Amino acid sequence: MASQITHTLVEALPYIQKFFGKTVVIKFGGNAMVDNALKNCFAKDIVLMKLVGINPVVVHGGGPQIGGVLEKFGKTTKFVDGLRVTDSETMDIVEMVLGGLVNKDIVNLINQNGGRAVGLTGKDGDFIRAKKIEVKKSSPETSVPEIIDLGHVGDVESIDPSVVNMLAGSDFIPVIAPIGVGHDGHSYNINADFVAGKVAEVLGAEKLILLTNTAGILDADHKPLTGLSVTDIDDLIDEGTIHGGMIPKVKCATDAIKGGVPRVHIVDGRVEHSVLLELFTDKGVGTLLL
């Protein structure tokens, strides 16, 4: 047992040296956000990263939590192409859940484990500028595509990293809710994966880690693939190996790589301490894209 612990510590040493002073962006979502044991493991991972000289930046989602609160308020949810139609009243609830309940829960958990986390939304310091998303639907009956208004659903237009850089470069750990502000002054809900990818690009992060509910990108035999290039990803999508909800996640990953992030990891958030296993072991967990 003692030799195994020693081996683990020695194995971690070169990775700690390699990533010392570097920024790592982690998108926190999936089962890791709703299982109390996994949440606590995640918080410990983030605190340990900071203590050994790495600058973690956390971006979180919160779809299930939003759905639960909307249900309590008697609000029905409609989705178009996987995006939640968000009127002004729904956006108020989204902002309350993401920027308040979920964000502060993560901040508190990190702080309880010895870290110094600070919660942010994209409205703080005006650091996430959003643009409104519109979905176009074509049908054989009409020659002009139908434009569907999703309400307060946005994409990242630009990011001013100064607030996050100030926090990450000190003793603090930024925890970011994916809410941006448009030129119209309105709040917009943005997909957390894409916010994490853009934040990683702008911060010049060494790595982007996306926690998900699968063992990574799986082949036809349901075995994890790793060491994939952008070209490999395109081929896997064309042949149908990557499909459904994994497509937007890998698009986020490949966009980040094209934007200069050296490595992106799609990691199984159902595994305890999956962030540390990915960072500090030779084998890692999940899928590496580079």
| pLDDT of the residue at 142 | 56
CATH of domain 19-289: 3.40.1160.10
- Amino acid (1-letter code) at residue 233: I
Delimit the domains of the chain by residue range: 19-289
Identify whether the C-beta of residue 122 lies closer than 8 Å to the C-beta of residue 199.
no
Q: Which two tokens stand for residue 233?
A: 């990803």
* Tens of each residue's pLDDT in the chain, 290 residues: 566 777 778 889 999 999 999 999 999 987 778 889 999 999 999 999 999 999 999 999 998 899 889 989 888 888 877 788 888 999 999 999 999 999 999 999 999 999 999 999 999 989 999 999 877 765 556 555 667 778 899 999 999 999 999 998 888 999 999 999 999 999 999 999 999 999 999 999 999 999 988 888 888 778 888 888 888 888 888 888 887 778 888 888 999 999 999 999 999 889 999 999 999 988 777 888 88
Say what the pTM is: 0.92
Q: Tell me how far apart the alpha carbons of residues 200 and 164 are, in angstroms, rounded to a whole number.
A: 11
Q: Tell me how far apart the alpha carbons of residues 46 and 40 are, in angstroms, rounded to a whole number.
A: 10
Identify whether the C-beta of residue 270 lies closer than 8 Å to the C-beta of residue 32.
yes
Antiparallel, parallel or unpaired: β 287-289 and 263-268: antiparallel
Q: Tell me how far apart the alpha carbons of residues 164 and 210 are, in angstroms, rounded to a whole number.
A: 19
Identify whether the C-beta of residue 207 lies closer than 8 Å to the C-beta of residue 15.
no
Question: Which among 156, 165, 163, 254 has a CA at the least distance from the CA of 203?
Answer: 165
Identify whether the C-beta of residue 179 lies closer than 8 Å to the C-beta of residue 127.
no
